Amino acid sequence: MWPALTILACLGLGGLHWWWKRRYDEVRERLVEQTARSASLQEQQQIALGQAEVQQQALFNSMVEGVLLLDGDDHPLGWLWRQDVERPGPVGADRATSPDPLLEPDSTLRDALSAMLGSAVQEGVVVDPDGRLLGTLTVDAVSSVLRQEAPLRA
């Protein structure tokens, strides 16, 4: 009796191992094949450089987290945080931290996720070929793509 149960238990674990390996392979495939363009880009709270200098108090009051500072042509200059805005004086690009990681729309989700997890912001700034802001990519947006149950290929 015991050998039969042991064999059945091993078959069950083998099936479970097979299922997890298949699931891992599917997720890895999605990370490599899907691009930043395929994920939902966020419209991050943003402000133009000239507005940041004029509206310092309003900016401080409206900030939940960071604000992406843009130049006049929508090129990301960096992130502004509450402590950057609450100091007296004009708010300019010199107070902003790096906008990195900058991502292209065709960046794979694997590369984007790796760059985001290595940054302080843990959010990727997606720019067009001219460096203009298209949106931001969050870890949650990448997770959403990975949670899709439909296979990538028919």
Check which CATH number belongs to the domain holding 120 and give it: 3.10.580.10
Domain-located, residue 111: yes
pTM above 0.85, yes or no: no
Residue 151: per-residue pLDDT: 45
Structural domain including 91 reads 36-147
pLDDT of residue 7: 54
Q: Which residues pair with 78 in a beta bridge?
A: 69
Asked if the structure places residue 14 within a domain, the reply is no
**pLDDT of 136 above 50:** yes
Q: Domain total for the chain?
A: 1
- Determine contact, residues 69/79, Cβ cutoff 8 Å: yes
Residue 59's nearest CA partner among 87, 82, 93 is 82
Contact 85, 63 (CB under 8 A): yes
In a domain, residue 153? The reply is no
Q: Identify whether 141 is part of a domain.
A: yes
Confidence of residue 126 (pLDDT cuts 50, 70, 90): very high
